[in-house]
Amino acid sequence: MAPTTLITGGVRSGKSRFAEQQTLRYQPPLCYLATAQALDDEMEERIAQHRARRGADWQTVEEPLALPQTLARLDGTYGAILVDCVTLWLTNLLLARDQNDTERNEQIVGTVHRLATTLRAMQTPVILVTNEVGMGIVPEHRLGRLFRDLAGQTNQILAASCDEVYTLICGLPLKLK
């Protein structure tokens, strides 16, 4: 079983750069498993900036929804896989389902547990980036509160299953586990 690492922190805390540095410890080819979808110009620009930062040792795989299945399919193909980011993946799952809140949340949490199970079986090292969203104010809208709660629950599930967990504050990593 290969090592798994979860990297969390606030927006623009340096998570992605740190995750890229951690991934570069492994032999190429390296996989950047992107969960973002370029649905507007601003997001296209963010994606372009991330791509420009990475070198030729990286291959990008885009997967907005089927993260556990894609990781299992890619296992053994790369020296390491960087998933950026779990909270965008959650957003995609949350918006892709048209059920009541309870059913949707149960399905998403079940998918997160499948991801944790997949991670424990991987032969390829995996580094996951996620956002810590529960340290601010309570969101005004229902969907924002659902997302915050799901992100917190997801981060707990993944942190419990990963070998190492870091948080970044002001660009500085702090090892939690």
Specify the pairing of strand 172-175 against strand 164-169.
Answer: antiparallel
Catalytic residue among 9, 50, 84, 150: 50
- pLDDT tens figures, 126-166: 999 999 998 878 889 988 999 999 999 999 999 999 999 99
- The label of the residue with tokens 């291959």 reads 59
CATH number, domain with residue 116: 3.40.50.300
Sign of CA dihedral 30, 36, 120, 6: positive
pLDDT at 96: 87
Q: Is 108 within 8 Å of 94 (Cβ atoms)? A: yes
Q: How many CA atoms lie within 13 A of 122 on its CB side?
A: 32
Which residue range(s) make up the domain with 144?
Answer: 4-175
Nearest residue to 19 via CA among 119, 116, 128, 115: 128
Active site residue 50: yes
Helix or strand (DSSP H, E) at 58? strand 58-62
On the question of pLDDT at 74 being above 80, the answer is: yes
For residue 23, how far is the Cα from the chain centroid?
14
pLDDT at 38: 76
Looking at the structure of the chain, the number of domains it has is 1
